[in-house]
Structures are given as structure tokens and as C-alpha cells.
Amino acid sequence: MSGTKKETGFTFTIDGVEITAYAGQTIMEAADEAGVYIPRLCDHEGLRHQGSCRVCTVKAGGRSVAACTQPAAPGQAVENETPRLTKMRRDLVEMLFHEGNHLCPICEASGNCELQAMAYRLDMTEATRFPYLEPCRALDASHPDIALDTNRCISCGRCIRASQDVDGKGIFGYVGRGIHRRVAVNGENLADTDAEVTDHAISAEVCPVGCIIRKRVGFAVPIGEREFDHGLIGHDIEEKRK
Amino acid sequence: MSELPKARIATASLAGCFGCHMAILDIDERLIELMQLVEVDRSPLTDKKRFTQRCDIGIIEGGCCNEENVHVLHDFRRNCDVLIALGQCAIMGGLPAMRNAIMHSDAPLRECLDEAYITGKYIRNTTHNVPNDPALPLLLDEVYPCSQVVEIDYQIPGCAPSGDIIFDTLSKLLTGKFRGFERDMIKFD
């Protein structure tokens, strides 16, 4: 007798590699378990899937879908690391760099930043074809333990979901529409909210960039010895395959 | 001994801190190896202020913050077959580009100059004027990355780039073997 899990399990392929999935799993969840990395920025383990950054776009059934929200389907052939998809992801990441003010040399998140690490992984090294938008965005240092530098925000909404779903607070939320959509604080500034440095939303893992800053710890680990200085983003997932 | 003619290289520092030129020296003893392949034309390393002849490779540190930077960059594009942007300032403006977007400011350049020369708490500027000597090159409204002024062929990332990535890229370009960077060498900091 095989286990009950086996009965509901099915297989599909990503770039020709056979992946086992269970009913209700997304393409990305099944891929992560199997050790196949699909690049992502707005998705984070433990948070509800949102599917907004589109960096995880894969081809499934001839259509472009967000791997973090699309349920895996039996027998489906999914394309992940094709030159076309990699180029599209690189363009998306490049546009995120252009939409905000992302100056890696002055950013305390450099080396721990998922946006930067994604640019490394996707070989974002060619001369840019896009203009820099250079928006004037606010810095909120009102809170005694936390600062927000919204120049670096990529509107992924991970802090919003972490605050609502994990902390049960709702400190952050989206405001505006279209290109004007931004992550905002639910109050005049951060000091007016019940944000605490111990919140999951404020923790180092939730903000993928250097927007949410925990004061007085920024350079405890020096540049050059940080997470993505020692390995490409996603290598922890890819190592499961070996 | 090879009798191949040496490739000619020129370098310049625009709106940069000269850190990328220092990084060129981080190539260390491999400089001797590199000098077998190249001759340095116009460059702060040779103190030559003008091109003596057409160059194979031009290396630019820093972006464009004033009109002189733009003239030098155009001169390099005209006189070099391959133009390389070296470091984050040349690639995306870098630290000087911080003056392009200052919080709540509609005139960031004015605000930057005011704070630097007039209103800043810790300055000792007895004239209370922003320097305006005619010999000073005119500032641009913004700091521009090199690729927004001329066509750039290759960009070597880093602040400053490591001696390894500079040596690796130059030696591969000179021998026609450059096919992109090793992933673990790509760093923006």
C-alpha cells in the first residue's frame, strides 16, 4: 500500500526535469521542493502568494504565468530558464532598478539585497536602454528603532502581508494606482504606528531590498561577507537537487 | 618574443573618486603581464592630457556631472574603438547621482549647492557664495551615466571593481575571448 500522499501526487516537467506535485501546489512550491529554482522577488516563504513582480514568470501550456500563483497541472511542460524568459526577467529587474533610486554603493543592504542578487544571477551588466526615473521619495526615520528609505522600495508588498497575516497589525498598505502605486505606512509616519523592531514585517528576511532598516545594525556584517557575496540567489534551493 | 603591435589604451576619470583607477592598480603584479599587451596613451597614469593617436580601448571612470566631463567622454568615443564604463559611477551615476533626487526638493541641484556652500551647519565659507569662477566647468542639471551620453560597449561593474574583474575583462578583450563576466565576479558594491 502506498501512502495517501502518493495517491494525490502527479508529475509535470520544468525544462524537461520531472517534478512531483500534489493537488493544490503552485508550480513554484513544487519546484522549490524538487530543488529547481524559479527566480522571484515578491514571493517569500511563509507569506501568502501575490504574483505581482512577475519575475517568476514561466511558460506553461503556451501561456506566460506567474509560477508563484499558478497551480501545477498534471503532465504540463513548464519552461523556466529559457533565454527568452531570462531576458524578460532581466528587463523586469532592470526596470525596478530604474523606477526607484537604487544606489548599491551607498546602500547598507548591499550584499543582502535580493534585487541586487537577482541582477547578479540574471547577468544585468550591459549598458542600459532605459532612462532613470529618479523619483523624489521620502525617508522616514521617525521611529526610534526602524527607518524607512522608500527610495529603495520595489512595492513587492512582502511587508504588507507579513504585517497583516503574521503580526496581525497592518502597519503597511498599498496606496495609489498604476505606476503611482506605493507601499505606505498606516499613519502620519512610522512612529505613529504600533510597529516594533521585533515584528516579522521588520525582520531582515521580509524586505528584499534596503527599504526597511533596523537602526544600529546596518554594518555589523561588512560588505563582502554577506549572504549573496558567497553564493547566487537560489543556490540553497538548487542544492536540494544534488 | 611576440612582435604583434601592442594595443593602445586610454583612461579618464570623470565624475568619479579615482577609486576605479586605484582598482586598476589592484591588478598588482599582473600589470607586468598586461603591459606586454598594451601601451597606455592618454591617461592620468601617463599624465598625457591628449590623444596621441587612435586607441583600441578607452576606459571611463565616473559619470557626467559637468560640461567638461561630456567633452572628454565625446573625445574618448571619437578616438577609441571600444569604450568601457568602469565602475558604478560610469554605469549608473553612482554617488554623485545622489544629487539628482533629493527628498521633497523641486530643485535638487540648487539645494545641494546651497547646503554644500551656504546653509550647511559645518561649513566655513567666508564668502557665502557658491563658487562661480569662469574657469570652473558648468555643472549639468543632473549627473548622467556614460551610456546616456555616448554609446558604451562594455561595462565593468563594482564600487570599485576588483582587480580580478578588470584584469580578466581586459585580457580577454585583448585576445578576443571575452564572452561575458564570471557570475561570481559581478558585484555592484
Asked if pLDDT for residue B5 goes beyond 90, the answer is no
- Convert the pLDDT of each residue in B62-121 to its tens digit: 999 999 999 999 999 999 999 999 999 999 999 999 999 887 778 899 999 999 999 998
For the stretch A49-88, pLDDT in tens is 999 999 999 999 899 999 999 999 999 999 999 999 999 9
pLDDT at A6 > cutoff 80: no
> Per the structure, how many domains does chain A have?
2
What are the tens digits of pLDDT across the range A170-194? 999 999 998 899 999 999 999 999 9
Alpha carbon B99 to its chain centroid, in Å, reads 18
Q: What are the chain B neighbours of A101 within 8 Å (beta carbons)?
A: 101
- Last residue of a domain, which of A44, A63, A80? A80
Q: How far is B89 from chain A (nearest CA, A)?
A: 9
Domain boundary among A36, A60, A80: A80
Separation between Cα atoms, residue A81 and residue A71, nearest integer Å: 19
Q: Tell me, yes or no, whether A100 and A120 share the same domain.
A: yes
State the count of interchain CB pairs (< 8 A) between A and B.
82
- Amino acid identity for residue B108 in this structure: P
User: CB distance A125–B88 less than 8 Å?
Assistant: no
CB neighbour list of residue B43: distance below 8 Å, 6 or more residues apart: B9, B10, B11, B12
Whether residue A114 sits in one domain with residue A214: yes
Closest among B183, B46, B73, B45 to B137, alpha carbons compared = B73
Chain A residues in contact with B93 by the CB 8 A cut-off are 103, 132
**Do residue A39 and residue A122 come from a single domain?**
no
**Within an 8 Å CB–CB cutoff, is residue A116 touching chain B?**
yes
pLDDT in tens, B10-55: 999 999 999 999 999 999 999 999 999 999 999 999 999 999 999 9
Return the pLDDT at A1: 41
Structural domain contains residue A109: yes
Residue B147 contacts A where some CB pair is shorter than 8 Å? yes
Residues of A in contact with B153 (CB under 8 A): 127
Mean per-residue pLDDT, B110-137: 91
A181 within domain boundaries? yes
CATH of the domain at A53: 3.10.20.740
Q: Both A186 and A143 in a single domain?
A: yes
CB atoms B183 and A123 under 8 Å: yes
The pLDDT assigned to B43 comes to 97
Distance, CA of A232 to CA of B114 (rounded, Å): 43
pLDDT at B138 > cutoff 90: yes
| pLDDT-based confidence at residue A241 (cuts at 50, 70, 90) | confident
Is there a domain that residue A2 lies in? no
Q: Which of A111, A125, A232 sits opposite B189 (nearest CB)?
A: A111
**Pairwise CA distance, residues B63 & A124, whole Å:** 19
A217: domain CATH number is 3.30.70.20
Claim to verify: residue A204 and residue A184 sit in the same structural domain: yes
Query: Beta strands of B46-185 (E only): which ranges?
Result: 55-61, 64-66, 80-86, 139-144, 154-156
pLDDT at residue A7, rounded to an integer: 57
| Mean pLDDT for chain A overall | 94
Mean pLDDT of B130-151: 95
Q: From CA A237, how far away is CA A32, in angstroms rounded?
A: 6
Residue where a domain terminates, one of A80, A109, A130? A80
Is A30 part of any domain?
yes
Residues A135 and A18 grouped into a single domain: no
Helix (H, G, I), strand (E, B), or coil: what is residue A92? helix
- pLDDT band for position A2 (50/70/90)? very low
**Residue B162 pLDDT grade (very low, low, confident, very high; cuts 50, 70, 90):** very high
Which of A21-47 are b and which e, b meaning 16 or more Cβ less than 10 Å from the residue's Cβ? beeebbbbbbbbebebbbbbbbbbeeb
Provide the pLDDT confidence category of residue B2 given band limits of 50, 70 and 90: low
A70 and A182 belong to one structural domain:
no
On whether both A65 and A112 belong to a single domain, the answer is no
**Does the residue A91 lie in any domain?**
yes
Does A238 map to a domain? no
Per-residue DSSP letter, B119: I
Q: Residue A3's pLDDT band (boundaries 50, 70, 90)?
A: very low
**pLDDT level of residue A8 (50, 70, 90 thresholds):** confident
Mean pLDDT within B148-164 = 97
Q: What span, in angstroms and rounded, lies between the C-alpha atoms of B3 and A62?
A: 56
Same domain, A164 and A147: yes
For residue A241, tell me if it sits in a domain.
Answer: no
Q: If you average pLDDT over residues A33-46, what whole number do you get? A: 97
Instruction: Please indicate, yes or no, whether residues A158 and A74 belong to a single structural domain of this protein.
Output: no
ipTM: 0.92
Instruction: For residues A137 and A43, state if they share a domain.
Output: no
**Is residue A195 in some structural domain?**
yes
Q: How far is B151 from chain A (nearest CA, A)?
A: 8
Quote the pLDDT of residue B106: 82
Domain range for residue A100?
Answer: 87-221
DSSP code per residue over A8-37: HEEEEEETTEEEEEETT-BHHHHHHHHT--
The domains located in chain B, with CATH, are: 7-99+140-185 (3.40.50.700)
Out of B103, B147, B159, the one facing A136 most closely (by C-beta) is B103
Would you say residue B3 has pLDDT above 80? no
> Do residues A95 and A161 share a domain?
yes
**What does each C-alpha distance from B69 to A137, B59, B61 come to in angstroms?**
28, 14, 11
**R_g over Cα of chain B:** 18
